[in-house]
Structure 1
């Protein structure tokens, strides 16, 4: 088991102050311990600011969330993971340049651990995609994949492989992804999209039917299930799915737009 050296050092420091308090001078020991705790709180304030940022973001207060994350990023020696989270939020809010400015600085830092380096590169890959270079985005994620794997990586790489156009490769990867995390709705959508784009509507419909019955937080399952139903001739239910897809807020980190959904609805209405 790998020992966290920082936690071990803190433990011995606290133990040392406790010994001073009990063996020699209680006032001195308690005073030193209080100063040490205050110092640790102050030196960890970037994490505290990030927690406030996350809390505000989950409530929908995006401006306040970004303010707290910006404050966290301005702390000297801000942890790379916190700064990378701020960069990702900037990207979600369409600030590509602001995101890239942070990531370009982070990626040159020395002593990044594998988790930190991977998180930075995964967001950087999304920047490349939004800048119009999906091939570089895929190459970057595949480099991460060779050393590191988590659900977020499978979500992003599975989706970008679809957009890149090698559908057989995308299907193979998304089948691997579903084996890695079969409870992830984004991964399920990637797999269903792969089947849809390859014309395997029955397999796509099986996944999308379950996703839409359960309910998801994003539009793609409803949109693509609508297209599957349309291809199968079920125009009434297809129209319902498309209208549900239109009710979701458009995501900057998706290739699906409200115009695309509305266009399909218009075609459907003419058919009906």
Structure 2
């Protein structure tokens, strides 16, 4: 592992040489060496420059431009683990699972002096394993991280893993712990509500969703709230929530996609049609039909 002194030693030596050249009466040589040094600094900083440009592009919603810049940062010879991991994560979010794997694996293998970067890279690798269907491995990585890298994101991810794996009782206990850690995190609240839904605890789930809807922007909350409303016999409200879910941006990192939402909405629309046909008409309509039937008989 490189120490701080080891990392700055080449720069220090170069600075001493430049200063010595100027002080010994070789100003031209000093200027040449200084120019070379600045070019070297720019070269060494290229990954950070590319990553910064990529981050700005991503914030503006320009995904393709962000990927282009982060690719340059990740593939630079002087690239660091955080740039490589960031590019791998962006590829993963874009659904490019196989392309993201070598970058996320490389980021984890790199020796980095900052443990937080190592832990962040491991969490990204965990997400990759989950999307590859290697759920037990994904869970183990996240569980091993928890004692060293405890934050809301780890609680969000691990809670979602337990739900995806069908460990609903474990998910319930874990998400209760997560809410004690961060009671204002809407993703953790959504995880808790989903857990209640799968355990058929509809009233508890409904209470959580009634608090966070319509403030959340992710479709999962609206989708599961719709399923809960359906279980509670509120068909029309369920359909409305599914329609709202379709207006929200779907993420590759979720189990919920647009086709699933549309399929459920189509199912409920068909259910509404059957219900309308099977319902008896009101008394006034029946009376009107009787009058028309009597008039037809008289005319004949």
Tell me the TM-score normalised to structure 1 length. 0.84
Deviation at 1:111, TM superposition (A): 3.9
Could you tell me which residue of structure 2 aligns to residue 244 of structure 1? 244
**Residue 127 in structure 1 maps to residue 153 in structure 2:** no
- Alpha-carbon distance, 1:210 to partner: 1.9
| Equivalent-residue separation in structure 2 for 1:201 and 1:40 (angstroms) | 60
Note if 1:224 corresponds to 2:221.
no
Alpha-carbon separation, structure 2, partners of 1:61 and 1:110: 31
Q: How many angstroms does 1:138 deviate by?
A: 0.7
Answer whether contact 1:46 1:75 (CA < 8 A) is retained. yes
How far off its partner does 1:53 sit?
Answer: 0.9
Q: Map residues 97-176 of structure 1 onto 2, 5 A cutoff.
A: 97-176=98-177
1: CA distance between counterparts of 2:123 and 2:259?
Answer: 28
Once the two structures are superposed, what CA deviation does each residue of 1:53-104 show, in whole Å capped at 9, x if it has no partner?
A: 1221222211111000001112223121111111000001111111111122
* 1:207 equivalent in structure 2: 208
In 2, Cα distance between equivalents of 1:36 and 1:201: 66
2-side partners of 1:35 and 1:207: how far apart?
A: 61
How far is the alpha carbon of 1:193 from its aligned partner?
Answer: 0.8
Q: Tell me if structure 2 keeps the 8 A contact 1:220–1:256.
A: yes
C-alpha distance in structure 2 between counterparts of 1:122 and 1:188, whole Å? 21
Instruction: Verify the 8 A CA contact 2:44 2:78 in the aligned structure 1.
Output: no
Mapped to 1, the partners of 2:39 and 2:196 lie a distance apart of 56
Q: Which residue matches 1:177?
A: 178
Q: 5+ unaligned residues in a row in structure 1: which ranges?
A: none
CA distance in 2, matches of 1:38, 1:178: 50
Give the Cα–Cα distance (whole angstroms) in 2 for the partners of residues 209 and 73 of structure 1: 43
C-alpha distance after superposition, 1:131-159 (max 9, x if no partner)? 11111111111111132212221111110
State the TM-score, normalized to the length of structure 2: 0.76
Contact 1:250–1:257 at 8 Å: present in 2 too? yes
Partner of 1:192: 193
Query: Between Structure 1 and Structure 2, how many residues are aligned?
Result: 257
Contact 1:114 1:148 in 2 (8 A): no
More displaced, 63-72 or 144-153? 144-153
Question: CA 1:181/1:42 → structure 2, altered by over 3 Å: closer, same or farther?
Answer: farther
Contact 2:226 2:239 in 1 (8 A): yes
- CA-CA distance at 1:257 after TM superposition: 1.9
Residue pair 1:204, 1:228 contacting (<8 A) in 2 also: yes
- Secondary structure in 2 aligned to 1:213? coil
1:86 is aligned to 87
Larger radius of gyration: 2
Residues 261 and 45 from structure 1, CA distance in 2 versus in 1: closer, same or farther, beyond 3 angstroms?
A: same
My pick for the range that moved more, 103-112 or 46-55, is 103-112
